[in-house]
Amino acid sequence: MQIIRNLSEIIGQEPATKLLKASLHSRRLAHSYLFSGPPGVGKKTTARALLYHLFCHISSDNPCGGCLACKKIERDIHPDIKFLHPEKKDIRIDSIREVERFLRFRPTEGNYRVVIISQAERLNPEAGNALLKSLEEPPLYSLFVLITEKTYQMLPTILSRCQIVRFNPIPTDLIKEHLKRRLLCEESVADSVAEISSGSLGWALEILNSGILEELNSFVKVGHSGSEDGKFRRLEKISKQDRNYLELLLYVLVIWIWRSYLNAKGVFNYPNSFPEEKFTGDPFIAIQELDRAKRAIENFINTELILYTLMKKLFK
């Protein structure tokens, strides 16, 4: 996987990267940023690229990738950088206490101590209020980057203390070009994957690398079959995958359902990159069932049971 160390290499997010580069050039970085936008459009990639600009020993404008600082960032062992992720359902106050302890000490190898919080909307109330204190009175050397797909779930008081940097869906043509030029995809494959990625380069790469279209084909075939044993064997295998994979499968199921419906209505004639079997039920009811399945998986309910229930409802 290509490592992006320069903000100029971020695809399709010029307003966001232009703002950050201007702040770096003027040395007027905010103490806290909120990177907000749909999944897979470059928020995390931009946050990591920003680290190279902040800490590279050779050049802050064009990070080298070869100095000791760049190598430490690449290996996630830089002492002045802390990453925070949800533990199971949420981010708890103990994690914010660790951040507070981290920020008590001045930088050891750079000018900043940086805290990057992924899925920041998952801060529970106690953690959110504790973080708010750090945002209100930050050390001069601190820099927070909060990353979220769901700004509406964030505490308004936290939002008011962050500079919001918005990330937008990436134009389909840019995704196609990236897949063809960087990954050497065939034109037909790049066109199809870019089209169903909904402006998300991350989704496009996941679709290519995960084999999810093959999984979709297997899911649909076994769903149409009359073999209960076949269903359970397939779903047992799928249920062992991580949440990102399951979310991607539910996403391509949505696309397959809508394509089947629109093709049947003669509205569009999509290329045959999906299973030959078409969805013949009510798409609106099916989408509701998929949404229920997604929420159930997010709440850590039995995945195999969720998928079996979903399959039974989709393929009556």
CB atoms inside a 10 Å sphere around CB 186: 10
How far apart, in whole angstroms, are the C-alpha atoms of residue 312 and residue 316?
6
- What tokens does 115 get? 């805290």
Among the residue ranges 57-71, 78-92, 273-287, the one predicted with the least confidence is: 273-287
What pLDDT score was predicted for residue 148?
97
Q: Phi/psi zone of residue 56: left (φ > 0), alpha (ψ -120 to 50 degrees), beta?
A: beta
Mean pLDDT for the chain?
Answer: 90
Please say whether the beta carbons of 247 and 39 come within 8 A: no
pLDDT of residue 121: 95
For position 271, what pLDDT does the model report?
A: 58
Q: What is the DSSP string of 47-58?
A: HHHHHHHHH-SS
Cα(75)–Cα(264) distance, rounded to whole angstroms? 50
Residue 107 in this model has a pLDDT that exceeds 70: yes
Predicted pLDDT at 272:
54
If one compares 277 and 172, the residue with the highest pLDDT of the two is: 172
Residue in this structure with the two tokens 């203390």, named with its chain if needed: 161
pLDDT digits (tens, 9 = 90+) for 258-303: 888 888 777 666 655 567 788 888 989 999 999 999 988 888 778 8
Q: With a threshold of 0.85, does the pTM exceed it?
A: no
H or E segment to which residue 81 belongs: strand 81-84
Which two tokens mark 214?
């093959």
Q: Above 90 in pLDDT, residue 129? A: yes
User: CB-based contacts of 45: which residues, under 8 Å, 6+ apart?
Assistant: 4, 10
Q: How far is CA 179 from CA 213, 264, 313, in A?
A: 16, 30, 35
- Continuous H helices in 137-276: 156-159, 172-181, 187-196, 201-210, 212-224, 228-239, 243-264
User: Distance of alpha carbon 115 from its chain centroid, rounded?
Assistant: 18
Residue type present at position 91: I
Residue 288 has phi, psi (to 5 degrees) of -60, -40
Question: Which of 19-28, 173-182, 186-195 is the most confident on average?
Answer: 19-28
Q: What is the mean predicted confidence (pLDDT) over 157-167?
A: 95
pLDDT above 60 (res 316):
yes
Share of the chain above pLDDT 90, in %: 58
For residues 316 and 134, which has the higher predicted lDDT (pLDDT)? 134
